[in-house]
Amino acid sequence: MTQLTFQELQSYLALKYKEGRTSSALFMKLVEEIGEVAEVLNQLEGRKENTGNASLEKELVDVIHYAVAIASINDIDLTKAIINKDKQAAVKYNQAPNLEEYLVVQNKED
């Protein structure tokens, strides 16, 4: 199976959206997709009639797509940002290991 990193996805989406899409336009698409995730969850959890077309996987992929696209066109390195944010949260909530520590251990085991 093909592996994908945040850097690769960001490079691809930066190329795809380098012209014509603004952060606010992509954000509107992100909000739409979040609404679709809510619809699927409501169907899966019995709060709404299940139409049979619900796919949580597809809707979550769409959410990730637009969130990463917004970061990409704004030159945000998501890998770095996620690791830094997780370090802050680990300190704030007294959690261990943090993501960076976890990755170090995982890489040693591979």
- CATH code for the domain in which residue 66 is found: 1.10.287.1080
pLDDT band at 15 (very low <50, low <70, confident <90, very high): very high
Q: Confidence band (pLDDT; 50, 70, 90) for 20?
A: confident
Give the tens place of pLDDT for each residue, 25-46: 999 999 999 999 999 999 999 8
Q: Number of folded domains in the chain?
A: 2
Residue 77 has pLDDT above 80, yes or no: yes
Q: Are residues 10 and 37 in the same domain?
A: yes
Residue 110 scores a pLDDT above 80: no
Q: Are residues 94 and 41 in the same domain?
A: no
More confident of the two residues 20 and 90: 90
Residues 69 and 85 placed together within one structural domain of the fold:
no
Domain range for 96 = 78-110
65 shares its domain with 89:
no
Do residues 72 and 105 both lie within one domain? no
Q: Give the amino acid at 32.
A: E
**Whole-number average pLDDT of the chain:** 94
Do 57 and 83 belong to one domain? no
Q: Does one domain contain both 58 and 104?
A: no
Say yes or no: 44 and 3 in one domain. Answer: yes
Q: How confident is the model at residue 85 (pLDDT cuts 50, 70, 90)?
A: very high
Q: Does 57 share its domain with 99? A: no
Instruction: Encode pLDDT of 43-60 as tens digits.
Output: 999 888 888 777 999 999
